[in-house]
Amino acid sequence: MTIYEVARRAGVSIATVSRAMRDSDLVTAETRARVRAAAQELDFTPSRLGRSLAEGQHAANGIVFPDLVGPYYAEVVLGYEEVAAELGRSVLILATHGRRDAAAQVLDLANRVDGMVIMGRTVGDDVVERIAATGPPLVLLARDPVSTVDTIRTDNERSARELAEHLLAHGHRRFAFLGDPDDSPDVAGRYAGFAAGLRAAGVPVPAPVRCAFNLDAGREAASGLLRRRTRPQAVVCANDEVALGVHTAATEAGLSIPDDLAITGWDDVMAAGFAGLTTVRQPMRELGATAARWLHDRITEPSRDRTPVRRQVLPTQLTVRRSCGPHTGR
Amino acid sequence: MTIYEVARRAGVSIATVSRAMRDSDLVTAETRARVRAAAQELDFTPSRLGRSLAEGQHAANGIVFPDLVGPYYAEVVLGYEEVAAELGRSVLILATHGRRDAAAQVLDLANRVDGMVIMGRTVGDDVVERIAATGPPLVLLARDPVSTVDTIRTDNERSARELAEHLLAHGHRRFAFLGDPDDSPDVAGRYAGFAAGLRAAGVPVPAPVRCAFNLDAGREAASGLLRRRTRPQAVVCANDEVALGVHTAATEAGLSIPDDLAITGWDDVMAAGFAGLTTVRQPMRELGATAARWLHDRITEPSRDRTPVRRQVLPTQLTVRRSCGPHTGR
DNA sequence: CTGAAAGCGCTAACAG
DNA sequence: CTGTTAGCGCTTTCAG
């Protein structure tokens, strides 16, 4: 079912069918009606491929992330998809799963979309720069800026520092940090802010205890930590899953939280509420939604690169619960 | 940067470039090398659009779901994407968000992919049938079969019945069911199995208390329920979010769980473990992964529809924790 | 307002 | 093995 058959049936040229299908005002209402009727009868839908090739537009956006485990990426993707859909664009997803050969897949994706966002440490800067140079518009999300690419992130340093100060106010002095700063720019920022907070108070900054982003990794790392001769008083974790792993390990070790051990996480996942975990909330959907809007601007702007580079850091919110230490008063 | 410029630079025809780029064995190793070198220098990547139009293949799959709230859909999508990527296919996502006009978007998606999965109650059977008739291969996921479309689901009836029996064994006799059977085929199945379990024991089957799939809805519905003169002894919820909402409401009302009120959920989300919630676990990734494999089979099979209709129901697992009632022994 | 015709970038017969 | 030449399905000048 192609435009030709509709044209024949309606007794017009394919150009007219094309116009009628897109409500161009270069056709009489009457002609349009006749064409649409024919299209209806033949159950014709213009081929996206044909149209895209001719227009040089995919009407699609891409997004690259490590995976969808935990609510963080899922929420970002959701915010992105929602706005993209409103703007009439489909969304292509690509999970790198930490694969080595992710670059090739990302490059392939760049070839299928009019714009794309690249999250965190999914691929190297070389790939980003290559796409920035010859590919579609890009937005970097939760990742350090590269050359002149638009970048959107949430604040990590400041909240982490605030968190450190809060813990210090509880009287804690021996700390541990769980998470791998080399794993993602977010973790690096959180560790940096945490370290800055301790340093300002003259408290020794521990080296990070590197572990993956999941409950089991946190649990395992913690069980080692808790066996040390001098146990930390407070464990700051790179995210909630890790923190909940520590929570589990501590409980198993017969420790009571927060009296024997204070714990904090990041993200405020649903389980954090039920575990009474102090954490930091960040505007995940807004992150994705903003990226989608920025991309749309770049894609539709008349002269590429007219808009200056955009950089934004969204604020986060410290959410204090009982896991960080006893709170007196209300 | 097109195939023509590479051809000129390498001193060959575009056909040869095409062959060299795809490692056809219809080119000398030497020619291939020369072409690839030229391509490299010019930073040429074959256009996906051009290729797709010529091949009549998108090398992409689609997936339609209501949203990504909660781990369920995210996990299914992840399993789907992972397998699709391994099979060399990109993935297009479409979240319907319960919109009325989802049909048009789904139809549009069908025009961009070689195969797609449609989950739950995102669009009506008419849309499914229309795509089945003229569109790419389809797999229905967590949804009742439609005509001869492949369908994969997890078991709901049986597990729900098992769950009812377990609760009956605890001595509970006054039940409530939270969730809307009209909302999704899954909920319908769960309610049906639950009802069957009670009926078999001669226990009155309550009408479902309809509520949305989230914590607040569960909490609100429960607070009404708990104010009735005869409070139920056990509340069976359509999923964990709802159950955790009930949990919250009950705790707020000063009830102790499970002594004053037993609660069960579905999905085994992370918070369920921390809340001690009895629930039912289902193989979410496997659901998506299987759908991706089935689609690939259909897409690549020589004569369309040679494979008979596939229907599969994956088993689930009752996960008993403390929220359903006191367990003696180990 | 409508039609003819030239692409968009690539693949795949079909000849050599 | 390599080149020529049709398309794939649609949009868009350019004439009329």
What number is the average pLDDT over the span B313-325?
A: 95
Burial class (CB in 10 A: 0-12, 13-18, 19+), A305: exposed
Domains in chain B, CATH or no CATH each: 3-55 (1.10.260.40), 60-155+284-314 (3.40.50.2300), 157-282 (3.40.50.2300)
Summarize pLDDT for B32-59 with one digit per residue, the tens. Answer: 999 999 999 999 999 999 999 999 999 9
Share of chain B above pLDDT 70, in %: 98
Cα angle A24-A28-A32, degrees, rounded to a multiple of 5: 70
- Chain C footprint positions (protein CB, under 7 Å): 1-5, 7-13
B92 Cα to chain A: minimum distance (Å): 4
Q: Are A211 and A179 in contact (CB under 8 A)?
A: yes
Cβ-contact B142, B287 below 8 angstroms = yes
Place of tokens 């920035």: A132
Q: Which of A74, A97, A241 sits opposite B74 (nearest CB)?
A: A74
Cα dihedral B216/B222/B223/B227 (nearest 10) = 170
Report the helix count and the strand count for chain B, using DSSP H and E: 13, 11
- Picking from B47, B97, B215, the nearest residue to A82 by CB comes out as B97
- Taking the C1' atom of every nucleotide in all shown strands and the CA of A13, the nearest one is C3
Length in residues, chain B:
330
Which pLDDT tens digits describe chain A residue by residue (330 residues)?
999 999 999 999 999 999 999 999 999 999 999 999 999 999 999 999 999 999 999 999 999 999 998 889 999 999 999 999 999 999 999 999 989 899 999 999 999 999 999 999 899 999 999 999 999 999 999 999 999 999 999 999 999 999 999 999 999 999 999 999 998 999 999 999 999 999 999 999 999 999 999 999 999 999 888 888 889 999 999 999 999 999 999 999 999 999 999 999 999 999 999 899 999 999 999 999 999 999 999 999 867 667 899 999 999 999 999 999 887 643
Query: Rounded CA gap, B97 and A82, in Å?
Result: 9
Type and span of the H or E element at A289 = helix A284-300
- Which residues 49-78 of chain B have a CB under 7 Å from nucleic chain C? 49-51, 53-55
Amino acid at B46: P
Tens of pLDDT, residue by residue over B180-236, are 999 899 999 999 999 999 999 999 999 999 999 999 999 999 988 888 888 999 999
pLDDT at A330: 39
What pLDDT does residue A207 have?
Answer: 97
Q: What is the DSSP letter of A317?
A: E
Nearest-Cα distance to chain B for A271, in Å, is 4
The reported pLDDT for the residue numbered B305 is 63
pTM here?
Answer: 0.94
Residue A244 and residue B270: Cβ atoms within 8 Å?
Answer: yes
Q: A-contacting residues of B 167-226, CB under 8 Å?
A: 215
Report chain B residues whose CB lies below 8 A from the CB of A109. 90
Closest by CA to A188, choosing from A134, A144, A122, is A144
> Which DSSP category does B278 fall into?
B
Cα distance between residue A325 and residue A260, in whole Å: 9
- Which residues from A are below 8 Å from B75, CB to CB? 68
Between helix A284-300 and helix A71-86 the angle, nearest 10°, is 40
Confidence category of residue B330, pLDDT binned at 50, 70, 90: very low
Is there a contact between A42 and A1 (Cβ–Cβ < 8 Å)?
Answer: yes
Distance CA B34, CA B9 (A): 9
Query: Which residues 75-94 of A have a C-beta within 8 angstroms of B?
Result: 75, 77-78, 81-82, 85, 90-94
Give the bridge partners for A264, in sequence order: A236, A278
Tens of pLDDT, residue by residue over B125-160, are 999 999 999 999 999 999 999 999 999 999 999 999
Residue of A nearest to B247 (CA): A274
Answer yes or no: are the C-beta atoms of A73 and A66 closer than 8 Å: yes
Residues of B within 8 A of A61 (CB-CB) are: none
Per-residue confidence (pLDDT) for residue A302, from 0 to 100: 66
Among B89, B92, B93, B216, pick the best mutation site for testing chain A contact (most A Cβ within 10 A): B93
**B50 min Cα distance to partner chain A (Å):** 7
